[in-house]
C-alpha cells in the first residue's frame, strides 16, 4: 500500500512514512494510491468481531503489512482497554430508524479518542523501532487537542505542542488540555480562530528547514492514519444494522471534514452507504457548498458547538482530489485559488457528483438548544450540542427509502458542554469520576499572537531535546 499527495509533487510513501510525515511536503494531503475494496463475503466475515479485532482487520488494509493485522490487534486492544463501555462505541436506538453511535467513551469523552489512543501507540512502536523521535504540532477547535495530549503525554520519543483559539473552546475542553502538566506537553492559547491555528500549523510544515530541524509530525486529521482509524467504527455500526445486506446512512456533525470523510472512505471500500449528511452550525461553508456550490470563506463565528467553528475544512481536499478524478494539478490550483481568493471554484460536474452522496444541513444555536431539549423529552437521551446538530440533520434530511436506518455520530459526552445542556434541559450532566476534579487541577498554557515566528520560537524551545 502506497500513498500519494493530492497535489502531486511529494514522493509516494508507505504507511509508516505517511504516519510520521502528516502533511505532504507540497502542502497536499496523502491518500491511498489505490483503494482497497471488500467483497460482500469479506464484509460479512467481519460481523461479530470484538471492536479491536474488527479495527485491526480494517486498518491492516491500509498498512501494507507494516504493521500487519497480527501486530495491530494487541495494539488496538490496548488502545481501547480503558474506554468506559465494553462495546467501545455502542449503538443506542433513538426512534424507529435513528441510532446514535456513541463515540465518546474514551478518556477525553470525545470521538477523537477513537483514533488518537491508537495513533499514540502507533507512533510509539514505529519510533522505537526506527530509533527516532518527533515533535507533534496540532491545532484544535476543542477535542483534538485533549485527545492528542492524552495519547502522547509522557512518551519518551514525542514532544507535543497544541494550539487552541483562546476563549473559543468550552471550559472542559480547555482544562482537559491545560491541566496535563507532563514535561513533553505544551499548550498555546492563540489570539484568533481555529482557522488561524490550523493555518499556523500548516505554515510550520511548509517551512522545510524548521520542519526538518524539529522533526515535525501531525496527529490531527491531516494525518491519513487518523482518518484510517476512524473508518472501523462506521464499518462496525453498519454491520450491526445489517450491512452488507442492507444499506445504511450516516449523519455526521463535522467541521474539518475528517470524520465524515472516514465514512465516505468506508463507502469507497464497498460498504453500502446510501447517504452521508454533513451537519454544520452557523459556520456553514460545507452546507452552502452542498446546497449551491458556494464554497466561500466567511468569518468564523463562535457557537455552542465549538468543534465545528471552522470555515476552512482541511480534509475536504481529499474529497476534492477524488471529485476531480485524481487530477493533482487541478487540485493544487483549486486549493491555491481558495487560499488567495477565499472561494473554491469547483466544476458543476464535480459538485453534482458530490451531491449524489452528500447532503448538507446547518443549525444555529437556538435550534441546537431546541434539539437537545427534544431529545431529552422524546427519547430520554442527553446529547451534547454537536450530536444534537447530527440528530436534527438526520430528521431534516432523511433517506429517500424510509427502511434505511440512519446512524448519527454522537461525537462528545454531554458533560463536556454542561452550560448548553443545562440551558436546554435543566440538567447539569456530571463528569465521569475519573474527571470529577478537573476544575480543581492547576492549568498551564502560554498565550501567543497568531504569528508564525512567535509560534516557531516557542516550539523550538519546547522541543529542544529533539536537537540535542
Distance of alpha carbon 193 from alpha carbon 175, whole angstroms: 18
Structure confidence by residue, pLDDT tens digits, 341-372: 999 999 999 999 999 999 999 999 999 999 99
Q: Could you count the other beta carbons within 10 Å of the beta carbon of residue 241? A: 17
Decide if 91-107+230-425 and 112-222+441-467 have a common fold.
yes
| Overall fold of domain 91-107+230-425 | Rossmann fold (3.40.50)
Distance of alpha carbon 164 from alpha carbon 148, whole angstroms: 12
Distance of alpha carbon 443 from alpha carbon 438, whole angstroms: 10
Cell numbers at residue 48, please? 461479530
HEC secondary structure over 25-47: CCCCEEEECCCCCCCHHHHHCCC
Distance of alpha carbon 301 from alpha carbon 313, whole angstroms: 15
Dihedral (Cα; 335, 336, 342, 346), 10-degree rounding:
-40
DSSP 152-178: HTT-TTEEEEEEEETT-S-HHHHHHHH
Is residue 79 within 8 A of residue 150, CB to CB? The reply is no
CATH code for the domain defined by 112-222+441-467: 3.40.50.1100
Structure confidence by residue, pLDDT tens digits, 155-174: 889 999 999 999 999 899 99
Using pLDDT thresholds of 50, 70 and 90, give the confidence band for residue 312: confident
DSSP 243-282: TTSS-EEEEEE-SSSHHHHHHHHHHHTT--EEEEEEEE-S
pTM: 0.92
Candidates 41, 311, 54; CA nearest to 168 is 311
Share of the chain above pLDDT 70, in %: 99
Task: Reply yes or no on whether the pLDDT at 274 is more than 50.
Answer: yes
Burial class (CB in 10 A: 0-12, 13-18, 19+), 283: buried
Q: Domain locations in the chain?
A: 91-107+230-425, 112-222+441-467
Q: 210: which residues sit within 8 A by CB, 6+ positions away?
A: 204, 216, 456, 460
Q: 96: which residues sit within 8 A by CB, 6+ positions away?
A: none
Structure confidence by residue, pLDDT tens digits, 76-135: 999 999 999 999 999 999 999 999 999 999 999 999 999 999 999 999 899 999 999 999
Dihedral (Cα; 419, 425, 428, 433), 10-degree rounding:
-110
Distance of alpha carbon 423 from alpha carbon 451, whole angstroms: 37
**Helix, strand, or coil (residue 290):** helix
Q: Which residues pair with 158 in a beta bridge?
A: 134
Distance of alpha carbon 263 from alpha carbon 259, whole angstroms: 7
Percentages helix, strand, coil for the chain (3-state, rounded to 5) are 45, 15, 40
Helices (H) and strands (E) in the chain, counts: 20, 13
Q: What is the pLDDT, as a whole number, of residue 66? A: 92
Candidates 409, 389, 212; CA nearest to 283 is 389
DSSP 379: I
Catalytic residues: 112
Amino acid at each position: 500500500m502506497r500513498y500519494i499527495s493530492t497535489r502531486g509533487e511529494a514522493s509516494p510513501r508507505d504507511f509508516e512514512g505517511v504516519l510520521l510525515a502528516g502533511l505532504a511536503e507540497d502542502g497536499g494531503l496523502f491518500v491511498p494510491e489505490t483503494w482497497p475494496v471488500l467483497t460482500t463475503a469479506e464484509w460479512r466475515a467481519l460481523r461479530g468481531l470484538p471492536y479491536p479485532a474488527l479495527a485491526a482487520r480494517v486498518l491492516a488494509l491500509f498498512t501494507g503489512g507494516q504493521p500487519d493485522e497480527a501486530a495491530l490487534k494487541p495494539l488496538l486492544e490496548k488502545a481501547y482497554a480503558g474506554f468506559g463501555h465494553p462495546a467501545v462505541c455502542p449503538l443506542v436506538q433513538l426512534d424507529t430508524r435513528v441510532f446514535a453511535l456513541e463515540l465518546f467513551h474514551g478518556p477525553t469523552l470525545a470521538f477523537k479518542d477513537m483514533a488518537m489512543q491508537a495513533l499514540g501507540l502507533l507512533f510509539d512502536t514505529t519510533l522505537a523501532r526506527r530509533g527516532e523521535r518527533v515533535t507533534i504540532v496540532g491545532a484544535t477547535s476543542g477535542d483534538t487537542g485533549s485527545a492528542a495530549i492524552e495519547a502522547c503525554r509522557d512518551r519518551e520519543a514525542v514532544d507535543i505542542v497544541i494550539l487552541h483559539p483562546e476563549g473559543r473552546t468550552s471550559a472542559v475542553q480547555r482544562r482537559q488540555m491545560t491541566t496535563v502538566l507532563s514535561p513533553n506537553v505544551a499548550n498555546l492559547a492563540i489570539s484568533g480562530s481555529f482557522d488561524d491555528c490550523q493555518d499556523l500549523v500548516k505554515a510550520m510544515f511548509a517551512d522545510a528547514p524548521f520542519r526538518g530541524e524539529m522533526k515535525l509530525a501531525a496527529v490531527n486529521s491531516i494525518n491519513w492514519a487518523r482518518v484510517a482509524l476512524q473508518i472501523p467504527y462506521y464499518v462496525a455500526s453498519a454491520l450491526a444494522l445489517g450491512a452488507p445486506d442492507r444499506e445504511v446512512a450516516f449523519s455526521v456533525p463535522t467541521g474539518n471534514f475528517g470524520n465524515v470523510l472516514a465514512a465516505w472512505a468506508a463507502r469507497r471500500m464497498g460498504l453500502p452507504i446510501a447517504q452521508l449528511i454533513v451537519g454544520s452550525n452557523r459556520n456553514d461553508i460545507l452546507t452552502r457548498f452542498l446546497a449551491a456550490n458556494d464554497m466561500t470563506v466567511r468569518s468564523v463565528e463562535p457557537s455552542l458547538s465549538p468543534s465545528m467553528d471552522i470555515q476552512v475544512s482541511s480534509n475536504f481536499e481529499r474529497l476534492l482530489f477524488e471529485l476531480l478524478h485524481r487530477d493533482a494539478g487541478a487540485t493544487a490550483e483549486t486549493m491555491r485559488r481558495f487560499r488567495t481568493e477565499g472561494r473554491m471554484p469547483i466544476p458543476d460536474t464535480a459538485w453534482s457528483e458530490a451531491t449524489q452522496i452528500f447532503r448538507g444541513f446547518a443549525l444555529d444555536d437556538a435550534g441546537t438548544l431546541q434539539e437537545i431539549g427534544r431529545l431529552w423529552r422524546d427519547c430520554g437521551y442527553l446529547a451534547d450540542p454537536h450530536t444534537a446538530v447530527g440528530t436534527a440533520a438526520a430528521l431534516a434530511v432523511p433517506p429517500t427509502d424510509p427502511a434505511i436506518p440512519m446512524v448519527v455520530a454522537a461525537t462528545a459526552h454531554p458533560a463536556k458542554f454542561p452550560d448548553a445542556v443545562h440551558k436546554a434541559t435543566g440538567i447539569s450532566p456530571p463528569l465521569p469520576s475519573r474527571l470529577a476534579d478537573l476544575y480543581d487541577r492547576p492549568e498551564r498554557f502560554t498565550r501567543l499572537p497568531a504569528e508564525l515566528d512567535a509560534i516557531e520560537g516557542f516550539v523550538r524551545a519546547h522541543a529542544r531535546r529533539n536537537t540535542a
